[in-house]
Each structure stands twice: as C-alpha cells, then as structure tokens.
Structure 1
Amino acid sequence: MHYPIAIEVGDDQHDYGVAVPDLPGCFSAGDTFDEAIINAREAIEGHLESLAEHGDPIPSASAIEKHLANPDYAGWVWAAVEIDMTPYLGKSHKVNVTLPDLLIKRIDNAVERHAEFKSRSGFLARAALHELERHAQ
C-alpha cells in the first residue's frame, strides 16, 4: 500500500517535516528530504504496529489527489511511501491452495528474482492484498 506523505521543506534552521494525512497523529522529520522520507516509513510502520497491537483498524491509504486541496498542506511537497501491510494483518493461518503448474513456476520465478516476497506464500499474500486494495477503491 502507498501512503501519501506531505513534506514541509526545511532550510538551514529547520528540519523537513512530514505528516501522514491518512494516519492521524503520525508525523516525522529529517535533516534532508531523503532522510525525511526514510524516517516517514519508520514512523508509518511504528504507527501501524501500534494500531495492530491494540486491535485497532488499519486505515487504508487514499490517493494523494484527495489531499492536494487541503489548506493545511499548502506549499508542501507530496510523495508516497510503500508499506508492506502483511505484518499488520494479524496472525497467519495455513491454507491449502491448488494452482496450475505453470502459474506455480511463474510465482517461483518471481520469488527468486524479488527477495522482498521471501516465499511463495509471501508472494500470494501480497498479490491478494493488492487485488483487495484495487477493488476497494
């Protein structure tokens, strides 16, 4: 999921400030623009972890366009931070799935090329989550 972030540009006297409009109370900062984005990812992950630990719902990310007209962020720069949502979805459960050989080979090839999937089940979980998000919008 890509969470939009608003970045208030810093200067010699001020850090770059970051707000995450879809996650009320989630803020961050950094000495540089790049550091602000890196710190924003950590802030988002910490915020989502806290929500998950307390059993609170995880807010969906909205499109940046939803926030562009918000006067609170006038003059700020917009970016999006990609977050892997699977750690915040709760306890894992084993399920049996039957798939065609060719599809399994394609999944295995994708897992081999992209370490972020870690496993066949990680790939399938991310693909399922992507489809759910796509259909929710």
Structure 2
Amino acid sequence: MTRYIAIMSKDQDSDYGVHFPDFPGCVTAGSTVEEAKRMAVEALAGHIALMREDGETIPEPSSYDEVMKDPDNHGTFAFEVSPEDYDPSVRVNVTLPRSVLEAIGKRRNRSAFLAEAAREKLAQQKHPA
C-alpha cells in the first residue's frame, strides 16, 4: 500500500491544516486532529483521481527525512496517508422504529452510530464467540 507524508499544522485562530509535499495544491483542514486526518485521506484520494483523469504521473512517495528537510515543515506534525484507505460514504434510506431513531440521535451522529454498530456486528460474525 502506497503511503504519502502529510503535514499538519495549526495557527492559534485556525483549524488544523494539512498539505502534502508530494502534491502541491492538495490541501485540506479540519476542526479537530481526527477530522483533519479523515479529510486528508479524502483529499489525497480525490487529488490522485483527478491527476489520473488528466493523464498526469503520480509521484513516488517522498521519505519522512526528505520531507522534514524543508524548513517550512519544522514544528509541524507529520503522518502517513494512503489513498487506498478512502472509503466514500453512500446515502441509504432505512426504516427504523421512531424510538430507536430517537435513542440513536441522543447519543451521537446517527450515521456514525449506525456505521459503527454495523462494523461491530460484522466483526462479531467473522469471529463468533
């Protein structure tokens, strides 16, 4: 799996910004570190898809040491991102009892809750007790 170095930084009055040294112009941001990391995967996958559509060459990943030689990257947080990790969401229409839907809504984002519950159930079925 190909992994590229992403650089995250944050100014005092801004979101967490992410850019990719191997892909000038590929930038994203998030209000939390976790959101910025999720957005980085989506941004990189989309950027590479557009490059392929345009017939551009996809660069080989730079090493951490190469990326950190750039003084602009000092004092930042570097992490690896694989475009293969992108798993786009798909809108679905489901029918649930109102009480179940209301209970889910009180806990957290409905979509996130249902996705997590489905993953847990699928994992249980792979490894029955």
Both proteins in one fold, TM over 0.5: yes
Q: Does 1:2 align with 2:3?
A: yes
Q: How many Å separate the matches in 2 of 1:38 and 1:54?
A: 25
TM-score (norm 2): 0.61
Q: How many Å separate the matches in 2 of 1:35 and 1:84?
A: 18
Shift of residue 84 of structure 1? Answer: 2.3
- Deviating beyond 4 angstroms after TM superposition, the runs of 4 or more aligned structure 1 residues are none
Alignment identity in percent?
35
Residue ranges of structure 2 left out of the alignment (5+ in a row): 86-129
CA contact (8 A) 1:9 1:33 kept: no
Shift of residue 10 of structure 1? Answer: 4.9
Give the aligned partner of residue 15 of structure 1: 15
Aligned positions, number: 84
Give the aligned partner of residue 78 of structure 1: 78
Residue ranges of structure 1 left out of the alignment (5+ in a row): 86-137
Q: How many Å separate the matches in 1 of 2:35 and 2:3?
A: 18
CA contact (8 A) 1:48 1:58 kept: yes
Q: CA RMSD, aligned part only?
A: 1.6
TM-score (norm 1): 0.57
Q: Does 1:49 align with 2:15?
A: no
1:21-60 deviation line (CA, Å, top 9, x unaligned): 0111111111011111110111101110110101111111
